[in-house]
Amino acid sequence: MKTILIPTDFSPENAIQFAAILARKMGSAVHFLNIIEPLGGDSISISGGESDAGMDNLFMLKLIERNQKEVNKRANRSDFMEIETKG
């Protein structure tokens, strides 16, 4: 097993500890995955103005940045010392 994929929504996860143990035993890399669904036609706009698209884009960029920090925090846990991780 070369790679272990850990999908995460940032809820508390026991799978992270298990993945670290398994990766260490198997010599595997660990990749973390978080999916962000883009705002679509089902989203509700409060202001209804022309600038909504710009605000939506800004919101998505900030959400991506925040989630990347959370993924990195998990990938840099002490459980994963000496294990290749990717977020």
Q: Residue 29: is its pLDDT beyond 90?
A: yes
**38-58, pLDDT tens digit by residue?**
766 555 445 555 556 777 788
Do 74 and 8 meet the contact criterion of CB atoms below 8 Å apart?
yes
Q: Residue 68: is its pLDDT beyond 80?
A: yes
Is the overall model pTM greater than 0.75, yes or no?
no
Do 38 and 64 meet the contact criterion of CB atoms below 8 Å apart?
no
Q: What is the pLDDT of residue 48?
A: 53
DSSP line for 20-67: HHHHHHHT-EEEEE---PPP-TT---SS-STTHHHHHHHHHHHHHHHH
Do 20 and 80 meet the contact criterion of CB atoms below 8 Å apart?
yes
Q: Residue 83: is its pLDDT beyond 80?
A: yes
Distance (Å) of CA 40 to CA 45, 47, 63: 11, 16, 15
Decide: residue 81, CB within 10 A, 0-12 exposed, 13-18 middle, 19+ buried.
exposed
